Amino acid sequence: MFTEIRRTLRFVMSSLLVFTPVLAAQQPDSTSAPVPPQVLKARAVFVSNGGGSNYFERFSGGPNRAYNIFYKQLKRTGQYELVSSPAAADLIFEVRVIAPATSGPHDIVSYSPQVILTIRDPRTNAVLWTESANVRAIGTKKRRDRQFDQSVAVLVDKLALVTGQPLTESQTKAIAGNSKMPTPEKIIIVSTIAGVAAFTAWGIHKASNPPKLPPLPTQPTPPFP
């Protein structure tokens, strides 16, 4: 009994340690290295589909959704000429999705889905720049699709920011918000931790105060014959 209680307490503490930095405000890094000139000057780009894992089958279009939505949103900006061949491009924009899994206490598996943009030199295939955006997967499929598209929009906005394009206030807020956990996830995590803590307290109380059994009734001494 006490062994299980100790395990539960460790789970609560580890949950708090893991999520406290995530829920806290992110402090920007004041140091920044120069952006490669090719990234700043490029006009013609080839968008490449880097694929992704089966995790993204929960979204309409599966792993290819990242490529399709990114291509559409990038074209809408008018910042680049989207060419059909890497040979005709100044840069290659490789878009892929990942969902690394981590195992926590009690073998609880969680995923961290992301959409990744890797910018490559088409002549050397060298990686020049990388950006990423978190992907949310909460609610109905329609809602998950909308959240996915918002994450891709954040990726496009991050690219614009790197290349010196002006952003609106809403775009800036979307980038900042993408690095933080959304309110529904906060509620789920806090509720789960509170529930586990309450169950642990109840278990400790029950273990420390076991129920008292009623006294056995006394049997009358039979009379001697």
Q: What is the pLDDT along the chain (225 residues), one digit of tens a residue?
A: 545 545 544 544 444 444 444 443 344 455 789 999 999 999 999 999 999 989 999 999 999 999 999 999 999 999 999 999 999 999 999 999 999 987 767 778 888 999 999 999 999 999 999 999 999 888 999 999 999 999 999 999 999 999 999 999 999 999 999 988 554 444 445 445 555 555 666 666 566 666 666 665 655 555 555
pTM above 0.85? no
Q: What is the CA radius of gyration of the chain?
A: 27
- Fold annotation for 34-200: Double Stranded RNA Binding Domain (3.30.160)
Instruction: Identify the pLDDT of residue 56.
Output: 94
The answer to whether residues 95 and 61 touch, using CB atoms and an 8 Å cutoff, is no
Question: Can you tell me the distance from the alpha carbon of 76 to that of 73, in angstroms, rounded to the nearest whole number?
Answer: 5
Question: Can you tell me the distance from the alpha carbon of 89 to that of 119, in angstroms, rounded to the nearest whole number?
Answer: 12
Instruction: Identify the pLDDT of residue 16.
Output: 43
Nearest to 115 by CA among 172, 168, 164, 74: 74
